[in-house]
Structure formats: C-alpha cells, structure tokens
Amino acid sequence: MPMVAGIMITLDRIALLASQRATAQEARAELESRYRFAPVEDAEKVLALGGDGFMLRTLHQMLETGLPNLPVFGMNRGTVGFLMNEWRDNDLAARLAAAKPIKITPLCMEVETVSGKSVRHAAINEVSLLRETGRTAKIAITVAGRPAIDELVCDGVMVATPAGSTAYNLSAGGPILPLSANMVALTPISPFRPRRWPGAILPEDTAVRFDVHDPDDRPVAAVADQFEVRDVRSVEVSLDPERKLTLLFDPDHALDERIALEQFAVS
C-alpha cells in the first residue's frame, strides 16, 4: 500500500502532469492524496496522465519550451492511449523502476510560406501536407536531393516516423514500421496522379523536400503533429537525432511490441 500509518509516500524525483480531461484530473487528485511528487525542475522522470494527445503535447513542450527533457511514463486517462500504459494507482514506485525505456527520434519540419515566412517545428508522429480547399494539391517531391516525383496530384502527403506509423499514416494506407527499422514512411493521401502510387519507405536519415505547385491557387497547409502552418510554398523534412525523447513502458506491453501487434489488429 502507498500509505503507511497515514504517512504519504514520496516517489523518488517523479513529477506528475495531467491533461484537463475530467478523468485525468480525478486520477491526479487521487494520486496526489497518496503520493508526494517532485516539481518538474527537480524531477528525473515524469508521470503523465491523459491520452495520446496529451502525451504528444508533453513531449512537444520538452522539445519546444523550457520543460526539461525527461523520460515520460504515461498512464491512460484519455481515449486510445496507444502511447500510454494501463492506469493503475498502486505499485507506482515498482512500475517506474521496472519500466522499459524506448527512444524515439523526432522529425524536423522547415517551412517556407507563400509570404516568405520561415517556420521550424518538430514532429513526433508525422509531418503532413494537406490541401486547404476543395481543389487538389499539386506537390513535387525531392528525396535526398534528387527529384522523385515531378508532380503528385493528391489530397496530401506525409512523412511518418515508426512511432507515428500506426496513426494517421496507417489510416492513409501507409506501412507499419517497427521502432528498430530506422526508416520513415513517405505516404500519399488520396493520390490521383501518379495513379496507384503507394508511397515509399526511406532510410530515416533521408531528407525529403516538398514544393507546392500553384500555392496561391491550390493552397496547402503543413502540419507537424498538431502544429499547423497554412499557405506553404515548400517544406523540408529531416530527422533530428540530437533531440531524442524517452518514453517508459511496462515491460509486458512496451511500444515496440504494440507496434508489431498492430499488424494483426482486425478491429
């Protein structure tokens, strides 16, 4: 039991973060009544309560703001919870001590807009280019500095990491990539021409550039996970190995195993 003779148990240098969902706030209140947590600035690990969206926001805060880059153990108090562990309010110290670390490498999106503005942002799951209007997008693709497709007529196109390959990428018909594959998926979204182009699997250190044709007449947005830039002219996507993140999972249900099992999911 986490309480001994009414004394609150201190978790060794663990910070607690929670989403604003009612279920996450209720779980936070329950844990804070039983355990003593450390401030984020003094912590060595983070316990995050919420869903996959909250996990992504937490990781982006580590990449884009002053939040320390710490290993994160998530517990699902959201919906899907693919990036999270099962919610249990006991044995937290033992679970955190036994957790399996998984390293994930984000992408870097560099955008030039039609107005000439430059924007840089990280992506953990994917970088997507999406048409903004009812007109199809027309996008040229360059891979490793060499022209690959002169003009892809489509609803959009994305570059997905292994960690994100079971998310939007899979819904668009892209491949599931094991974490150990050291690859990224280049996946079209509703391609019209070239017809039946299935996309490609590329070495993770391959830079991909997208140039939007007729960006004034056929506007395109670029989205790095949940961060959107509208009216883009060009987008460069590359791996950012200097900014690796660490997720923590219960040993019996780690992220690499979940990704592998998604290949057999039927529902």
Q: Is 76 annotated as a binding residue?
A: no
How far are the Cα atoms of 81, 156, 195, 246 from residue 103, in angstroms, in the given order? 18, 29, 36, 5
163 is in an annotated binding site: yes
User: Does 166 appear as a known binding residue?
Assistant: yes
Is 170 assigned a ligand-binding role in the annotation? Answer: yes
Query: According to the annotation, is 260 in a ligand binding site?
Result: no
C-alpha 19/C-alpha 25 separation (Å) is 7
Task: Say whether 52 is catalytic.
Answer: yes
Q: 167 among the known binding-site residues?
A: yes
Per annotation, catalytic residue among 52, 205, 225, 256: 52
Of 164, 179, 153, which is closest to residue 237 (Cα–Cα)?
164
47 is in an annotated binding site: no
Check the annotation: does 90 bind a ligand: no
Q: How far is CA 214 from the centre of its chain?
A: 30
- List, as one string, the DSSP characters of 177-221: --GGG-EEEEEEES--BSTT---EEEETT--EEEEESSTTTS-EE
Residues sharing a CB contact under 8 Å with residue 266, sequence separation 6 or more, in sequence order: none
- The structure tokens 């790095």 sit at 224
Q: Is 27 annotated as a binding residue?
A: no
Question: Binding-site residues for NAD(+), please?
Answer: 52-53, 57, 125-126, 135, 155, 163, 166-171
Known binding residues: 52-53, 57, 125-126, 135, 155, 163, 166-171
Catalytic positions: 52
